[in-house]
Structure 1
Amino acid sequence: MSTAQKTQQRIPSFKDHALIGESAKIPINDATSVISLSPVVLPAPERIMDLHIRVSAPATGTNLPIILLSHGQGPSNNLSSLNGYSPVANFWAAHGFAVIQPTHLSSRALSLNPDEYPEAPWFLRSRVTDFKLILDKLDDIEALFPQIQGRLDHTRIAVVGHSGGGHTASCLLGARGNDPTHPSSEDMSEPRIKAGILLASPGDGRGGDGLGPAAANTDLKYHSHAEMKTPTLVVIGDSDGFPFLTTRGAEYHADGYYFSKGPKSLLTVKDGKHGLGGVSGYDTAEATDDESPERLAMVQRMTWAYLRSALYPDDLAWSVACAALEKLPGLGKIDNKD
């Protein structure tokens, strides 16, 4: 063995991606190993097909709080399904949450013919009822995944949605259509859900004003956050000009914060675009111009901290994370309202 080999320092086992940069300064609890099962198939006789879900959880621990995670759409063939969003799903599970991900009927993985189904291609109402079914069947889900049986806390539940999934999450949190003559005005809020996060989510429809060509003729035209009363963190990228949804630019995605009742928080991701650093998947088509381990790590840590404090009011994770981010203006900023 050479002298160089004898003196070479061994590198400790890594905890994070080597490129997360300043985001490492945002405190987080220790990660644990994750177990995941898919597909877990829930019978759904009133749905076009049974509901397929993925469940991820820490390998150990009890009384695990639950995150319901709603995928967006996008050009990739698999990420708009239970197989997507591993950067956030695995992170949250490694840090103490059980994460449940359905494949909505709008998924590119299913590619249902829009000419055959009146609700296609977005299936906006069906997306919401998917989660109501999941909440009704939590005991069945545990029975189908014995390694988590008896380990979930059915009283601490949050919903998170990205892009189109943000619309789903917002409806469960109280948002709804503002035209009483339109079916979208139905209140589909879910009292079992105690907190939420909207990631690059659709904003208020304003009767179609400012909507992109793919959204102007959908229920998004009527969408309003005025009745979204559940505590929610809205996350936007300050460079998110996603024309598929809006011509208003990044401000559109902040509507859930500005036009809803408190308590709400707004996380603005510096230089973030619609992928927020890559929440939907690693090295993906959705994030070709937005891939950033540093931005992603910041979003991972801040969303984890928000949900810890939202579901456990005595947990100071959110205030500690906000104080840390305040010293890192190159990553983003927080606004809060009561």
Structure 2
Amino acid sequence: MLKRFAVLLTGLLFCSHIFAAVGFRQLTLNGSGSRSIEVAVWYPTQQTDVGESIGENAAFEGSTVLRNAAPVPGAHPLLLLSHGHGGSWRNLAWLAEEMVSQGYIVAAPNHPGTTSQNADPKQARQLWLRPDDLKLAMRELIVDPAIAGEVDSTRIAAAGHSLGGWTVMELAGAKFDARKFNVDCAKHVGLSSCRVAAKLGINSDASRAPLAADRSEKRIRAVILLDSGLARGFTRESLAKIALPVLILAAGDDSPELPAELESGYLVSTLPPRWVTFARIDGATHFSFMQLCKPQGEKLIEESAPGEGVVCQDGGTFSRKELHRRLAVNISGFLNAALHFQPQPGEKPLAPFRSGEETRG
């Protein structure tokens, strides 16, 4: 079945079109217990007011949106986004805006405890609540179309980067075995995912049961993993039962600390082949999936946090902006096919993705 999706990646894009502007709202939702969830929402709008810049700081580029603009009428597919460990909704804002141009509503929560906005250790050790953050945002948007427009509840997907990839696989039905992960980490002590296991509570006896629980969401019809992490903790039995389209995009220029072979590769080899589309992206590092850095961004980050400037580094000859364009084409083509969605008439089709593409299925 996914062979058909791979073939359609290019064909459907010539029918894809661009909406005039991007609407934007920010919400604060009440999650489990005292968990307060900040959510960014992007959506199509026909307003033509003067926009405002969001997500910009000294190191990273921002973008222009129309805050609290009126949504366009009609039902739209919904894409949920999950950031990586220590990240925020800003990391995947570029993808949100690309998908809004295709006619999607997009929502991205800041996951408490594992976001740059909230590094509370107790909340970080409640890793199992990350999928619930996405469910909460989804439910809020479905019941209240005044926020971003009407959600087509038959067309909902989720995408995540790094730890966000783990999060969306939970929604797809994957189940995590903390014992399995810890045994594997004893063999791979140098991997970055193993080094954060204690921060995420994975090595705690109290975490094993909630981490093993079923966090799946039946309304999720497709998932996208962007250089996913923690994949080796998913049980083979649960992965074998996944029955929805999965797009796995891995960094072509990975590092020994973030090896695509042990993360994305494990999923590709274990998930049912009929549901998997896989690509290693030439020139992409683990951090190429994040927002654009300013020319002086790496230097500024290094000055304030030595060693962290790597988040601005890409591999190969492609700029991050070019990598984002190629990723957006791959992702939108996959989603449009998996959700059987035809974007509305507009202005400009995206060019087809070519470089570094490899599919399985």
- TM-score if structure 2 supplies the norm length? 0.66
Residues 1:107 and 1:28: Cα distance change in structure 2 (over 3 Å): farther
- Superposed, which structure 2 residues align to 1:12-161 within 5 Å? 27=14, 29-44=16-31, 46-59=32-45, 60=72, 62-74=74-86, 80-105=87-112, 106-112=114-120, 114=121, 117=122, 119-121=123-125, 123-143=126-146, 145=147, 148-149=148-149, 151-161=150-160
Task: Give me the whole-angstrom Cα distance separating, in 2, the residues matched to 1:250 and 1:49.
Answer: 35
How far does residue 54 in structure 1 lie from its aligned partner after superposition? 1.1
Which one of the candidate residues 272, 283, 301 is aligned to 1:271?
Answer: 283
Task: Give me the whole-angstrom Cα distance separating, in 1, the residues matched to 2:91 and 2:38.
Answer: 13
Q: Which residue of 1 aligns with 2:292?
A: 282
How far does residue 249 in structure 1 lie from its aligned partner after superposition? 4.8
- Does 2:357 match 1:333? yes
Task: Give me the whole-angstrom Cα distance separating, in 1, the residues matched to 2:267 and 2:115.
Answer: 24
- Contact (CA 8 Å) 1:174, 1:228: kept in 2 or not? yes
Task: Give me the whole-angstrom Cα distance separating, in 2, the residues matched to 1:271 and 1:34.
Answer: 30
Residues 1:311 and 1:258: Cα distance change in structure 2 (over 3 Å): same
Residues 1:238 and 1:152: Cα distance change in structure 2 (over 3 Å): same
The superposition leaves residues 57-81 of structure 1 with CA deviations (integer Å, 9 ceiling, x where unpaired) of 111352210000001125xxxxx22
Q: Secondary structure at the match of 1:39?
A: strand
- Does 2:315 match 1:308? no
How far does residue 271 in structure 1 lie from its aligned partner after superposition? 2.5
Q: Which residue of 2 aligns with 1:258?
A: 269
Which segments of 5 or more consecutive residues in structure 1 lack a partner in the other structure? 1-22, 75-79, 206-219, 316-320
Residues 1:266 and 1:139: Cα distance change in structure 2 (over 3 Å): closer
Residues 1:279 and 1:36: Cα distance change in structure 2 (over 3 Å): farther
Q: Secondary structure at the match of 2:333?
A: helix
- Contact (CA 8 Å) 1:204, 1:225: kept in 2 or not? no
Q: Secondary structure at the match of 2:145?
A: helix
**Relative contact order higher in (CA < 8 Å, ≥ 6 apart):** 2
Task: Give me the whole-angstrom Cα distance separating, in 2, the residues matched to 1:34 and 1:154.
Answer: 23
Q: Which residue of 2 aligns with 1:4?
A: none
Residues 1:39 and 1:47: Cα distance change in structure 2 (over 3 Å): farther
Task: Give me the whole-angstrom Cα distance separating, in 2, the residues matched to 1:55 and 1:334.
Answer: 32
Which segments of 5 or more consecutive residues in structure 2 lack a partner in the other structure? 1-9, 46-71, 181-204, 298-308, 344-348
- Contact (CA 8 Å) 1:68, 1:100: kept in 2 or not? yes
- Please state which structure has a larger fraction of its residues in helix: 2
Question: Could you tell which deviates more after superposition, 248-257 or 127-136?
Answer: 248-257
**Aligned residues, how many?**
269
Q: Secondary structure at the match of 1:235?
A: strand
Task: Give me the whole-angstrom Cα distance separating, in 1, the residues matched to 2:157 and 2:244.
Answer: 10
- Contact (CA 8 Å) 1:237, 1:250: kept in 2 or not? no
Task: Give me the whole-angstrom Cα distance separating, in 2, the residues matched to 1:95 and 1:242.
Answer: 36
- Contact (CA 8 Å) 1:68, 1:99: kept in 2 or not? yes
Task: Give me the whole-angstrom Cα distance separating, in 1, the residues matched to 2:264 and 2:124.
Answer: 23
How far does residue 296 in structure 1 lie from its aligned partner after superposition? 1.6
- Contact (CA 8 Å) 1:34, 1:58: kept in 2 or not? yes
Task: Give me the whole-angstrom Cα distance separating, in 2, the residues matched to 1:313 and 1:154.
Answer: 12
Q: Which residue of 1 aligns with 2:247?
A: 233
Percent identity for Structure 1 against Structure 2: 23
- Contact (CA 8 Å) 2:329, 2:352: kept in 1 or not? no
> What residue identity is the alignment partner of 2:22?
I
- Contact (CA 8 Å) 2:163, 2:230: kept in 1 or not? no
> What residue identity is the alignment partner of 1:175?
A
